[in-house]
Amino acid sequence: MLSVRVHSNREQSHVSRETVGLLLKILNERDPGVLEDLNRMGHLAMDTAKALRLPDHEVERIELAARLHDVGKLTIPDAILHKPGPLNDDEWEIMRTHPEAGARIVAAAPSIAHIQDLVRYHHEQYNGRGYSAGLARDRIPLGACIIAVCAAFVAMMRHRPYSDAVTVVEALAELRRCSGSQFHPKVIEAFCEMFP
């Protein structure tokens, strides 16, 4: 007879973190230096979820998903992923496949399958103009809305070949400007309040 072992919450959390750690190492091998940004994403997402007074299990789920939100980029060709300038329409079409690919990757790991919807929908926009499902407003999981804000903030703070890094003040101003269109207003409010 086949016996099934039920894991405690502590054991499940440990297995989840081991799986996340492995995937983060793979991402860092593909794109050296990305680990710092992903760890920052995890902390910002966790703090934002706490500021919104979400339950502890949801805070942890959002933190894990924030760290792995771009795992689907493992499926994107280097020529697109590391292109030193803006992407053309065909390249953008390929890049827009990474949330679905990421959701499939995390769904394949039972210990982190519970974060797949947050990974899948992290590029949705509050106004419905995001991708990959075109969800809007409250149809977007709140955790995915949190990840979208944190990802935008971290991206604005990073120097890229085609754009300079901005200051914290400038990044927060841009997030506020996009509140209610690209980003969930309650998430923007909670996120911005974390910065004095």
Q: What is the pLDDT of residue 3?
A: 40
Q: Which two tokens stand for residue 171?
A: 């990044």
Opening angle at CA 119, ends 113 and 14, nearest 5: 45
Burial tier of 21 (Cβ tally within 10 Å: 0-12, 13-18, 19+): exposed
Going along the chain from its start, the domains and CATH numbers come out as: 9-193 (1.10.3210.10)
**HSE-CB for 83 with a 13 A CA cutoff:** 12
Q: What is the pLDDT of residue 5?
A: 43
Q: Which two tokens stand for residue 170?
A: 């400038």
63 contacts 45 by C-beta, under 8 angstroms: yes
110 contacts 120 by C-beta, under 8 angstroms: no
The answer, as to whether pTM is greater than 0.75, is yes
Identify the CA nearest to 190 among candidates 128, 138, 143.
143
pLDDT along the chain (196 residues), means of 10: 45 70 88 88 97 96 95 94 90 96 95 96 97 94 98 88 81 96 98 92
Give the span between the Cα atoms of 19 and 92, in whole angstroms: 29
Q: Which two tokens stand for residue 133?
A: 């499902």
Residues 6+ apart with CB under 8 A from 121: 99, 132, 133, 135, 140, 141, 144
CB-CB neighbours of 36 under 10 Å? 11
Give the span between the Cα atoms of 35 and 144, in whole angstroms: 20
